[in-house]
Amino acid sequence: MRAACLVGGMRVPGTNFGGTSLGVFTDTVRALTNDFFVPLTDMAYVWEPPGFNAYNLGDRTTGQVRYTATRADLVFGSKSILRSYAEVYAQDDSREKLVHDFDAAWAKVMNAECFDLVAS
């Protein structure tokens, strides 16, 4: 679950390669929020493919495009185990949980393979 948090958490702060906006589902870029997971689980939106490896997230009633995503982003809405994680993090009361899980996952990744150092 923490790995899913890490992936979604990194999309929102605007850390995409080349500064692309694909998969950035927020208006508050550079803030660690659960905004990435909310549109993935909200039935008010519909996903439509405008081209190769890209999907527009549009309002279901007006058709206005709100965000653009990649296939990798949509995995969180379509695969059952990842969907369950997305639903947990998308809840309003899970914002602190997302930050806590992100912190734990980030520390685990950053400390991997670092414990074999010998002090002199």
Is residue 21 a part of any domain in this protein?
yes
- Nearest CA to 109 out of 14, 12, 10 is that of 10
Domain harbouring 31, CATH code: 1.10.420.10
Give the chain as a 3 state SS string.
CHHHHHHHHHHCCCCCHHHCCCCCCCCCCCCCCCCCHHHHHCCCEEEEEEECCEEEEEECCCCCEEEEECHHHHHHHHCHHHHHHHHHHHCHHHHHHHHHHHHHHHHHHHCCCCCCCCCC
**Overall domain count for the chain:** 1
Q: Indicate the pTM of the whole model.
A: 0.72
- Model confidence at 21, in pLDDT bands (50, 70, 90)? confident
Is residue 120 a part of any domain in this protein?
no
Domain that residue 6 falls in? 2-108
For residues 73 and 118, which has the higher predicted lDDT (pLDDT)? 73
Which of 10-14, 17-21, 84-88, 98-102 is predicted with the least confidence, judged by mean pLDDT? Answer: 10-14
